[in-house]
Structure 1
Amino acid sequence: MSKDVALTKEDLIKLSEEYTNNGNSVDVVKLANNLGIKVFEYPFGEGVSGAVQKNENGEISIYISDQDSIERQRFSIAHELAHAVFHKDLVETKKIINRSKNDSSNVEIEANKLAEEILMPEKSLNRFIKEEGLNKNAEISSLIIQKIADAFKVSKMVAIIRLRNLNYNVPYISYA
């Protein structure tokens, strides 16, 4: 299927919701595999977290650093999945597109935002917040941020950014 993955952003987000474990964390490896994209660990070395490559048969593979935390690996898979689906023109045969931790191009920013949406679908996050007895107006404490990060298997920073992007009340103090 990876040769002709044609999804809208909304389709990918909806599909990611179907791959949740216990209603929260998304199994991004199964999601990628369902789209015909294989995921491998690779010893990149310092500074590179993930890459995406298309082989001569048009099959897409995602490579993630074997040195990164599970949360970072999950984010890298979702990020590279965004490239594979929405930045096909950048995924060339026999050329690996590396993502360093410091890349801030528009394409990388877009892939980061989509990775957050894949890992923390709005519907699932809103349900989790409601189950905690909170709403959008409530201040989200450090404790709740940690619970969200744990439930969705993301870093606290990813949880904070996603909450802020959804207009939750997250104070601007150092949580990460």
Structure 2
Amino acid sequence: MIDYADLMTKAERLRKQFGEDNNSPIDIFSLAQGIETLTIVYYPLGNKISGMCIKGTEERCTIALNSSMTLGRQRFSLAHEFYHLFYDNNMKSVCAKSIGTGNETEKMADAFAAYFLMPRAALADKADKLISKHGGKITLQDIIRIEQYFGVSHQTAVYQLNNCGYINREELDALLNISVRRQAEAMGYSSDLYRPLPEEKQYRTYGHYINQADQLLNRDIVSYGKYEELLLTAFRDDLVYGTEEGGELID
């Protein structure tokens, strides 16, 4: 049986570990890149997998995210993999595309991810304030405001609002089948949350691997040619050929 109270506690504890409170939205990608021994790989993983976590020796780990999925879903997948990274004893895990499927560990990781991105008290506070303006009933516009505030996918927001009792099962099924991108744009929001990464950025590696390659070069352990080969293997042609558009601004 899944202990949801324990998962909430774990999510709150990890946020605190990262120096975050339990009320505010978080930049999970920035938090991940702050883990010195973590390599993050963005790669189109197909239609069935949203991410995976592989633990290595000396705490060196790799998290892969399906870059062909929306930004909101990638944020959820990264939080899901944080559960495997910090709380799962298994050395390797693969996250399915559908939320709430798989074995008990996968369902625990899904619940943890939701609590990590949308702490229950913070979600309730946000939802209650919005509902008070509409006669006690949550609207689609309110849900969009919530998912934009916490930076989560529409699916994640709807499931959590259902779990917290703000929408019933019938409303859940209806809301899951609604495309909200145009509505979000009409409300003045960016649609980035509902889109995948641009195709030219769907193959990328960040973190420990790139740093290690740089250290090998600086210590004269590998040649510059080998260094470039290591970067190209990690899909970082932008670092080899300078293909990234635009120059650096110092402001």
Does TM, scored on the shorter chain, surpass 0.5?
yes
**Within 1, Cα distance between the matches of 2:50 and 2:153?**
14
Number of equivalences: 160
Per-residue deviation, 1:130? 4.2
| CA distance 1:133–1:163, shift in 2 (3 Å) | closer
Q: Tell me the SS of whatever aligns to 2:159.
A: helix
| CA distance 1:34–1:121, shift in 2 (3 Å) | farther
Q: Tell me the SS of whatever aligns to 1:104.
A: coil
Match of 1:98 in 2: 94
RMSD of aligned C-alpha atoms?
2.7
Percent of counterpart pairs with the same letter?
26
| In the alignment, structure 1 residue 139 sits paired with structure 2 residue 137 | yes
**Within 2, Cα distance between the matches of 1:68 and 1:151?**
20
Between stretches 39-48 and 110-119, larger displacement belongs to 39-48
Which TM-score applies when normalising by structure 1?
Answer: 0.76
Unaligned runs of 5+ in 2: 1-8, 177-251
Between stretches 115-124 and 70-79, larger displacement belongs to 115-124
Q: What aligned pairs does 1:16-165 form with structure 2 within 5 A after superposition?
A: 18=20, 24-36=24-36, 37-87=38-88, 89-91=89-91, 96-102=92-98, 103-132=101-130, 134=132, 138-165=136-163
Alpha-carbon contact 2:131-2:138 (below 8 Å) kept: no
Alpha-carbon contact 1:50-1:62 (below 8 Å) kept: yes
Per-residue deviation, 1:48? 1.0
| In the alignment, structure 1 residue 170 sits paired with structure 2 residue 167 | yes
Match of 2:14 in 1: 12
Unaligned runs of 5+ in 1: 1-7
**Within 2, Cα distance between the matches of 1:121 and 1:17?**
15
More helix by share: 2
Which TM-score applies when normalising by structure 2?
Answer: 0.56
Q: Deviations over 1:118-151 (max 9, x none)?
A: 111223323322442539x933222211211122
Q: Tell me the SS of whatever aligns to 1:18.
A: coil
**Within 2, Cα distance between the matches of 1:108 and 1:123?**
23
Residue type of the alignment partner of 2:95: R
| CA distance 1:133–1:15, shift in 2 (3 Å) | farther
Residue type of the alignment partner of 2:49: V
Per-residue deviation, 1:16? 6.4
Computing the radius of gyration from Cα coordinates, the structure with the larger value is: 2
Residue type of the alignment partner of 2:160: R
Q: Tell me the SS of whatever aligns to 1:118.
A: helix
Q: Tell me the SS of whatever aligns to 1:53.
A: strand
Alpha-carbon contact 1:16-1:118 (below 8 Å) kept: no
Per-residue deviation, 1:46? 2.6
Between stretches 110-119 and 142-151, larger displacement belongs to 142-151
